[in-house]
Structure 1
Amino acid sequence: MATTFGSLPADLPVPEDDGAADHLTGMSTPDIDLPATDGSTVNLARLPGRHVLYIYPMTGRPGRALPDGWNEIPGARGCTPQSCSFRDHYTELQALNTGVFGLSTQSTDYQQEARERLHLPFQLLSDEGLKLKSVLGLPTFEVDGAELYKRLTLVIDERKIVKVFYPVFPPDRSAEETVGWLHELVLRG
């Protein structure tokens, strides 16, 4: 049976909030260079203004099987729909003066294929060495011998994490939820 990365099975298990991201709000972004899909490097500690950093386990690739049991791991499935949701809300985020980056532990080469295939108007960042886990204590899980990030979304304003969405479910509504929160932030002024 072929896997359709852009759709979500109706019976996906819902991830529970295990408290693994409770400490992140208020933290400063670390001075770490991360490779981007355009060949540049991005340092979260040097980004001016407001940005959304959505962190995901891994995108699937046509012709390659997902890890065994992927759909049964709470929060694992849905990286492509999450990326597409940020693509589809990108103009709204720009109107809210908010930049966007996606981040996973996948290599830049792997991410470049996903960015092109999904027509993402923003860069994906690679953290193959789990640097952000070491510095920020980001939550991870293991599958098929690989350590991957659990799905979460950070709103960063002037190099401080001001909002954490964790767990993120359903992943295809991640951008909509983030945009809603940003609209309220702007209204509170």
Structure 2
Amino acid sequence: MTIQNPIDWSKLPIPVDDGRASHLEGAELPSMDLHATDGRAVDLSRLAGTAIVYAYPLTTKPGTPAPYGWDAIPGARGCTPQSCSFRDHVVELEELGVDHIFGLSTQDTPYQQEAVGRLHLPFALLSDESLQLAAALRLPTFEVSGMTLLSRLTMVTREGRILKVFYPVFPPDRNASDVIAWLRSR
């Protein structure tokens, strides 16, 4: 499955590593339940095995405009390509020992369920609508149109501890391949 309107990444501002995720590698995940699009409550700190948690700002429904100035925000654009990248590489990630894959945003679960169906995602999206996880981990965020959104990053976790953080993530459609390369190098 491919994305119908490819994004020309060369025309978007490239995010820079501002250090706001440098404290995450080695950190323990806090114990808290996050609502998942498959109806579960997921506590990332209690997951057995290896998990990939990719944080993204937001998805927009077809025909719904992105927030004003979206393309001018470094790293904001590309949530659908990032999700589709993990979708398209799910078997390869599982073969490399990944037990769980989750997308994470501050959008509510009903909104996220639309994206799971539309994008045919074989994994759940998690909602941090209350920003509890973002606050507990001090995840990088930004504000636009009155919303606080997660900056794009990906965490590889094992048994409740963050092993690796990819930040900033750009271009987003290459994120799963970058994670795969890292897993292979271990």
| Range of TM-score over shorter length | over 0.9
- Give how far 1:96 is off: 1.3
Mapped contact 1:102–1:125 kept (Cα < 8 A) = yes
- Give me the identity figure in percent: 58
Cα distance between partner residues in 1 of 2:6 and 2:47: 33
Q: How many residues align?
A: 182
| TM-score in terms of structure 1 length | 0.94
SS in 1 for 2:142: strand
Cα RMSD (Å) of the superposition?
1.1
Q: Structure 1 segments of 4 or more deviating over 6 A?
A: none
2:81 matched to 1:81? yes
Structure 2 length-normalised TM:
0.95
Gaps of 5+ in 1: none
Any stretches of 5+ residues in structure 2 without a counterpart? none
Q: CA deviation at 1:5?
A: 7.8
Task: Give a deviation string over 1:121-179, Cα, whole Å, max 9, x none.
Answer: 00000000111121100000000010000000000011110000000000000000001
- Structure-2 separation of matches of 1:67 and 1:7: 19
Aligned partner of 1:14 in structure 2 is 14
Residue type at the aligned position of 1:7: P
Amino acid at match of 1:72: A
Q: What is the deviation of 1:7?
A: 2.4
The whole-number CA distance in structure 2 between the counterparts of 1:5 and 1:71 is 18
User: Matched residue of 1:103: which SS?
Assistant: strand
1:140 aligns with 2:136: no
Aligned to 2:51, the other structure's residue is in SS state: strand
Q: Is it true that 1:163 corresponds to 2:164 in the alignment?
A: yes
Matches within 5 A, 1:69-108: 69-98=69-98, 99-108=100-109
